[in-house]
């Protein structure tokens, strides 16, 4: 029986809890949430399963060495002390990725990757007078070096290419949504395949495909051609196919409709191609029509989800259009990215604005949340207002546009006062009736925060 070992699944900032839930449902042990990562324990078979089944994981790393490191030269020496013959040989190809967050290292992560590459190449050259070659695109072994302060972790990347590359998307539009983010949005919405699903502006169909795979319990990476661990010396092909067969047996048929709309002919063609590549043509319907000008039939509980970048155009046209015929559906979720600023540590750090339509109440309620703060203020749809997290460093990034200049030029105290005044002024009109309608109206109330 294979022994358990520690692994680390990386993800986007804000999806750690979703990934943790996925791992627990798969059977991972000792799951621990980190920042953009979740660590867990499992055996070799579970590593195969995690790579095939996880929807919100970017990579599955297998740590092989931990040590303290103080500078680039110390890193070079410590890496040469690792017994690299356990993982590769002189005829193997390899590549190295590095992430550095330490004051001890003044160089960038690319230089650290080169330094680590030199250490491994020199290790084999000194022992065998021959060195392994570097292959960035298709290496036999992919190594990940992570430096946090004075602590270094060296891991093997069992995934190879990023797990967001599912293998079904052959055509995209401009700035397509990442598959991991799309799956995360669907999971955060609470959709499990128990109702109909609509993407009103589907683009290349990524959200629809991820929703269909969730509804039918299809493994996220079942369409991938290869994983990194398939080139490892200890790869067990029989075990891999056993794990794959067990996942395929858990696929179920969803009898609810999954529909996408888009008025651009090119987007519809690309979406249909991607749906066909994912073998989901029987479950997803793509319609070349403007969603807001089409006739909607009432066919039961429906989740409408779309990820849009927030702008004045969204506020003046998009959300009123959504609200106009929201009475036909049980839940409407629209997730909008407010801003991406230089203050964010990563391009995947997203602050989201979620517009939730409470259908029976007949009003569109915008609510916002900042990751970890979970503080929401509820106002009418006619106001572009967002919640202010007093504890958030980036609070000024999510202030309502009408107050942005005022708040950025004054202290945080001014921000707090303005937020409290607005909240008190509208709470008696909107907040209390809204909460009462949530309690007494049997509809889904979902808040997505990414």
Identify the residue with better confidence: 368 or 99: 99
Identify the residue with better confidence: 425 or 353: 425
Which residue, 427, 403, 431, 402, is CA-closest to 415? Answer: 403
With contact defined as beta carbons under 8 Å apart, do 58 and 248 qualify?
A: no
Does the pLDDT of residue 311 top 70, yes or no?
Answer: no
pLDDT (tens digit per residue) in 15-58: 999 999 999 999 999 999 998 999 999 999 999 999 999 999 99
No. of helices (H) and no. of strands (E), the chain:
13, 15
Instruction: Please count the residues of the chain.
Output: 450
Identify the residue with better confidence: 327 or 75: 75
Dist. CA 188–CA 172, nearest whole Å = 24
Domains of the chain: 5-157 (3.30.2130.30)
Does the pLDDT of residue 66 top 50, yes or no?
Answer: yes
Does the pLDDT of residue 373 top 70, yes or no?
Answer: no
Identify the residue with better confidence: 430 or 283: 283
Does the pLDDT of residue 251 top 80, yes or no?
Answer: yes
The residue with tokens 């002919």 is: 265
- Residues in CB range of 266: below 8 A, 6 or more apart: 173
How much is the pLDDT for 151? 92
How much is the pLDDT for 304? 85
Helix (H, G, I), strand (E, B) or coil at 360: coil
pLDDT (tens digit per residue) in 276-309: 999 999 999 998 988 878 776 656 788 888 776 5
The residue with tokens 């290349």 is: 204
Q: For the chain, give the percent of residues with pLDDT over 70.
A: 68
Residues 361-375, mean pLDDT to the nearest whole number:
31
The residue with tokens 């029987």 is: 282
With contact defined as beta carbons under 8 Å apart, do 14 and 371 qualify?
A: yes
Dist. CA 29–CA 211, nearest whole Å = 27
> 241: number of CA atoms within 13 Å, CB side?
2
């Amino acid at each position: 029986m294979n022994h358990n070992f520690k692994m680390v699944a990386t993800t986007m900032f804000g999806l750690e809890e979703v990934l943790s839930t996925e791992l627990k449902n798969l059977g991972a042990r000792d799951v621990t949430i980190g920042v953009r990562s979740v660590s867990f324990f499992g055996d070799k078979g579970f590593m195969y399963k995690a790579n095939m089944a996880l929807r919100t994981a970017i990579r599955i790393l297998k740590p092989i060495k931990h040590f303290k490191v103080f500078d680039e030269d110390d890193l070079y020496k410590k890496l040469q002390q690792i017994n690299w013959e356990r993982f590769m040989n002189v005829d193997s190809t390899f590549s190295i990725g590095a992430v550095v967050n330490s004051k001890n290292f003044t160089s960038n992560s690319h230089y650290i990757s080169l330094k680590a590459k030199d250490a491994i190449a020199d290790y084999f050259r000194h022992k065998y007078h021959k060195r392994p070659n570097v292959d960035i695109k298709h290496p036999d072994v992919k190594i990940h070096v992570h430096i946090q302060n004075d602590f270094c972790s060296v891991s093997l990347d069992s995934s190879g290419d990023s797990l967001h590359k599912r293998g079904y998307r052959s055509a995209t539009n401009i700035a397509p949504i990442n598959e991991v983010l799309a799956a995360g949005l669907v999971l955060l919405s609470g959709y499990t395949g128990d109702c109909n699903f609509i993407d009103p502006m589907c683009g290349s169909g990524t959200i629809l495909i991820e929703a269909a795979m969730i509804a039918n319990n299809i493994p996220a990476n079942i369409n991938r051609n290869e994983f990194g661990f398939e080139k490892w010396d200890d790869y067990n092909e029989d075990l891999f196919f056993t794990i794959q067969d067990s996942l395929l047996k858990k696929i179920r048929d969803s009898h609810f409709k999954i529909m996408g709309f888009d008025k651009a002919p090119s987007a519809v063609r690309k979406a249909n191609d991607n749906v066909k590549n994912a073998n989901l043509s029987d479950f997803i319907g793509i319609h070349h029509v403007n969603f807001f000008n089409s006739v909607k039939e009432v066919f039961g509980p429906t989740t409408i989800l779309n990820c849009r970048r927030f702008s004045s155009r969204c506020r003046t046209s998009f959300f009123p259009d959504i609200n106009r015929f929201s009475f036909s559906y049980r839940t409407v979720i629209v997730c909008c990215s407010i801003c991406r600023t230089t203050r964010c540590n990563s391009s995947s750090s997203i602050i989201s604005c979620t517009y939730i339509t409470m259908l029976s109440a007949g009003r569109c309620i915008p609510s916002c949340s900042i990751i970890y703060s979970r503080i929401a203020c509820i106002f009418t749809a006619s106001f572009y207002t967002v919640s202010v997290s007093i504890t958030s460093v980036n609070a000024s990034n999510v202030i309502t546009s009408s107050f942005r200049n005022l708040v950025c030029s004054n202290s945080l105290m001014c921000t707090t006062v303005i937020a409290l005044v607005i909240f008190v002024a509208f709470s008696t009109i909107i907040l209390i009736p809204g909460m009462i309608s949530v309690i007494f109206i049997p509809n889904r109330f979902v808040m997505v925060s990414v």
